[in-house]
Amino acid sequence: MKLRLPLLLTLLTGLLVMAPAAAHAQSLLFDWVGYDYESPNPNPSIFGEAGSGYTAVGFVNGLFAPLAADTVHDQYTFVLSGLTPVNRQISGSYVIVDYSVGTMNVYEDNKLGGTLADYGVAPPNATSPSSFNDGTVFLQGQVVSFQYILNTATGSGSFSAYYTVTGGTQYNNFLASQRTGWTFAGTTGNAVNIPAGYQHQVVGQNLIEQVVSTHSSSWGRLKASYR
């Protein structure tokens, strides 16, 4: 399978180029941070091996329109799961793993009356993923074309996928045209505080590209407008 350039590059590029008709900008839906692990994990010394399953859990730090969140009273967590390897390639020190269709759900849980999320150790365990998915399903989504690129020399990497909103209490906040076209991308690394039994820290963003109207102009006209 062809190696995609990580969609993460789009997160790091915020420049809009003047164009005769239109340009594209990104609209952020939510961002998140957590840790990943493999279960089942038939060979712990190999990442993305046949028969393994990929899961990531963690906290959603920012939620944006059309999502309506109450971050004062509620805790928001995510679970990325249901992903199994369908293709694994090696290129030098890089391992590229393509996965089956999975899900990424965001959960809403009251900070006082609910159960605070706890990673625990050696997942799956008594608190993970159960304390991350025990709240109300705030946003449900399908993950397609999930690709994970790991540098085995450094233990760091990146990932990217396409995301479709399929349910949750926020589903009706989306226009029909807004439920598809989302992407997410992020980075992985060997943070010093990774709980025992997890493999990498994961940091990501879910966003969509939107068309932004622009107008062509000469350099002389642009300078004149500031005089």
- What are the φ and ψ backbone dihedral angles of 104, each rounded to 5 degrees? -135, 110
Residue 37, pLDDT score? 98
Burial class of residue 191, CB neighbours in 10 A (0-12, 13-18, 19+): middle
Q: Which residue has the higher pLDDT, 121 or 24?
A: 121
How many residues can be counted in the chain?
Answer: 227
Q: Return the SS3 of 99.
A: strand
Residue 140 contacts residue 167 (beta carbons within 8 Å): yes
Q: Which residue has the higher pLDDT, 3 or 62?
A: 62
- Pairwise CA distance, residues 179 & 187, whole Å: 24
* Mean pLDDT score across all residues of the chain: 86
pTM: 0.83
For the chain, domain boundaries = 25-224
pLDDT tens for 207-219 read 996 543 444 444 3
Residue 4, pLDDT score? 58
Residue 114 contacts residue 132 (beta carbons within 8 Å): no
- Pairwise CA distance, residues 64 & 57, whole Å: 20
Residue 76 contacts residue 63 (beta carbons within 8 Å): yes
- Close Cβ partners of 160 (under 8 Å, ≥ 6 residues apart): 4, 6, 7, 8, 145, 146, 147, 183, 184, 185, 186
pLDDT tens for 83-113 read 999 999 999 999 999 999 999 999 999 998 8
